[in-house]
Structure 1
Amino acid sequence: MSSTLTIFAAAGMLALTVPGSAFATNGFLRIDGVVHNHPLGCYEVAQLSTVLNFTDVPVRVHNVPGCQGNVVQIIPPGLATQVPGTHSILVKDPFTP
């Protein structure tokens, strides 16, 4: 019985130590019909693209590939917009600043 309690206690502690960055966004991002479920990170936009943000966080549009350069647009959750080519889109972890 005590070994069972030890296992449950260890599992409970492990569940409490999972860092926030292990979680991606809720929802999906659609870029020209390609769906990215629970997106996180940088996505390239090689041409004039339609971007639908169905996540729970705003996404940032950068003016150069690689999510470098300046943020030229922010797409709020639930909004669709057209993004010019040679841009990139950054979806940040909702638990990091």
Structure 2
Amino acid sequence: MARSDRQRRIRRAGVDACPGVGGNRWRTIILVTAAVLIGSAVLDIGVPVSTAHPGSVPARMKESAGTLVVDGHDYDQPTGCLTVRKVPRRIQVTNNTDQPVRVYLLPGCKGGVTNVVEPGGSATPLGASVQV
């Protein structure tokens, strides 16, 4: 049984109105891709540590007296950020300095602080970098 012209027009109008079908499909793919790229670029913008944690970073970083031991490696008088891993994992941190050590989730002291090891303390936090 053949369809009438009216049924064909209704069917065609319904298909053309559906997003992601026909010519609209590539437009939808391009728009979604652009939205993902823009969203990831916005999320990748870093906030300086001094802005994120007012007062937590001194104007001039002073050297810490003592040794920081991370996974068996000694760092004498460490200052600033030390990247110890490319990817986060449990690291053994022994703080033999006179200042607290912040352990960050990602390399470059990014991704948030996972633990603070006080002077004379030790911990096994998840992280990839440390800051004295």
Shared fold, TM over 0.5: yes
Q: CA RMSD in A?
A: 2.0
Larger Rg: 2
TM-score, structure 1 normalization? 0.63
Say which SS state the counterpart of residue 108 (structure 2) adopts: helix
TM-score, structure 2 normalization? 0.48
Distance 1:84 1:65 in 2: 12
**Deviation by residue 1:55-92 (Cα, 9 ceiling, x = unmatched):** 0000111121100121121110001111225x21111x
Between the two proteins, the alignment pairs up a number of residues equal to: 71
Residue 84 to residue 45, structure 1, CA distance change in 2 (3 Å): farther
Distance 1:36 1:70 in 2: 22
Flag the structure with higher strand content.
1
Runs of at least 5 residues in structure 2 that lack an aligned partner in the other structure: 1-58
Say which SS state the counterpart of residue 70 (structure 1) adopts: strand
Aligned-residue identity in percent:
37
Residue 22 to residue 61, structure 1, CA distance change in 2 (3 Å): closer
**1 or 2 for the larger relative contact order (CA 8 Å, sep ≥6)?**
1
Flag the structure with higher helix content.
2
Runs of at least 5 residues in structure 1 that lack an aligned partner in the other structure: 1-19, 92-97
Distance 2:110 2:102 in 1: 11
